Amino acid sequence: MKSGNLAKQYKDYVINLRREFHMHPEASWDEVRTSGRVKEELTKMGIPFKEMANTGVMAIIKGKNEGKTVALRADMDALQVKEQNEVPYCSKNEGIMHACGHDGHTAMLLGAAKILNEMKDNIKGTVRLIFQPAEEMAQGANAMVEAGCMDGVDEVFGIHLWSDLEHGKVSVEAGPRMASADMFKIKVKGKGGHGSLPHQGIDAVVTASSIVMDLQSIVSREISPLEPAVVSVGVLKSGTRFNVISSEAVLEGTTRCFSPEIRKRFPKMMERIIKNTAESYRAEAELEYTLGTPPTINEVASSNRAIKTVEKLYGPDAVSLMEKVTGGEDFAVYLEKAPGAIAFVGVRNEEKGSCYPHHHERFNIDEDALETGTALYAQYAIDFLND
């Protein structure tokens, strides 16, 4: 039982939806119109749904016979990026655009809903469709899980359209695929003074600068070189005037890794270095460490199933190997509740101008990939439930 023919039949439906969502992007937790349109489409299909986590939606398609439960997830939020694409469906919301492909995810899952609803008499079990808010803030998945969207789920599957992968290719390897993405803030407290008399003060700028440099030793000297990891400081704010010794500084940054064990160690390693470095300059420093998303790790059996699904739909040449990426994805939260996998579906096509990275103001996709993703969503659910 293949979903490919129906995906082809609904291709224009999915493309039109994607363009509509692209024209009306909404930031995290503000996905009111998007969520409303999802509910409208589900209502037209006669698919029951529940509202949860503010703007989130969970729909349920029950097969003719009882069986397992599989969840399919799409995210809906856009980014605070001013779009520079010259296309008829350019963003109408100033300063906000779908620069990461979530418009495509939402449209594909609605297309898959059509397919699965049409084929439900041949399905054994239940499909849950999760339309999630606030992925870009790493908050939506947690909120949906807390609301119960994963209760009783046996398997979960997600798709991310990917600009570094050529159209027609799908990557769904087992193991770590995306990194953890946590955030930190460091507050440095010194003592102000005159720039010409630095010995009378405790310089927060010098202290903060040394903290930035010393933090780099975590990756270079405390973590195995065989384990990818990142400690990046993206913000350093301090000082008011060229000839004033600053009394305070604030640093903000992120950590990334693919190992749950290393992720647990990060706060203690950082705190030791931060406090000791500050003390060496007679200053004080505090660390605020905020957990974002865990690493996204595809389960082996789920990955193998997804590979077979891709081959069934598009042949073995469609399966592509792709290096894991240090970007974060809160789909990892669902994977903590049930086994599953996320697939990267290629949208890159130089001839169509679909060659810019995610979060770029000219990010766009080869819309032919929407048919691929729609079929893959539906077929994975069918293959899991009817196995």
CB environment 262-275: b (16+ within 10 A), e (fewer): bbeebbebbbebbb
d(CA 49, CA 193): 62
Mean of the pLDDT values across residues 153-168?
97
Alpha helix stretches (DSSP H) within the chain: 4-9, 11-23, 32-45, 102-118, 140-146, 204-217, 260-280, 300-314, 331-335, 369-386
Sequence spans of domains, the chain:
4-177+295-386, 181-291
Q: What does the pLDDT look like over 41-93, one tens digit per residue?
A: 999 999 999 999 999 999 999 999 999 999 999 999 999 999 999 999 999 99
pLDDT of residue 10: 97
Q: Quick one: CA dihedral 211, 212, 213, 215, positive or negative?
A: positive
> How far apart, in whole angstroms, are the C-alpha atoms of residue 145 and residue 65?
26
User: What would the pLDDT profile of 227-265 be if each residue is shown by its tens digit?
Assistant: 999 999 999 999 999 999 999 999 999 999 999 999 999
Please say whether the beta carbons of 59 and 128 come within 8 A.
yes
Confidence of residue 3 (pLDDT cuts 50, 70, 90): confident
How sure is the predictor about 387, in pLDDT bands with cuts at 50, 70 and 90?
confident
171 — pLDDT class (breaks 50, 70, 90): very high
Token pair of 135, please? 């992925």
Average pLDDT, the chain: 97
296-298 vs 175-178, strand pairing mode = antiparallel
Mean pLDDT of the 123-127 span: 97
Whether residue 160 contacts residue 256, with contact meaning beta carbons closer than 8 Å, is answered with no
DSSP reduced 3-state for 183: strand
- DSSP character for 351? G
- The answer to whether the beta carbons of residues 98 and 80 sit under 8 Å apart is no
Distance CA 268, CA 109 (A): 41
**What's the whole-number mean pLDDT along residues 107-113?**
98
CATH, domain range 4-177+295-386: 3.40.630.10
pLDDT tens sequence across 181-196: 999 999 999 999 999 9
**What pLDDT sits at residue 1?**
63
Residue 120 has pLDDT above 70, yes or no: yes
Q: Which amino acid is at 138?
A: A
Mean pLDDT of 359-380: 98
Average pLDDT over residues 161-182: 97
- Tell me the pLDDT tens digit for each residue of 16-46: 999 999 999 999 999 999 999 999 999 999 9
Does domain 181-291 correspond to CATH entry 3.30.70.360? yes
* pTM of structure: 0.94
Identical topology for domains 4-177+295-386 and 181-291: no
Residue 4, pLDDT above cutoff 80: no
Containing 80, the helix (H) or strand (E) segment is: none
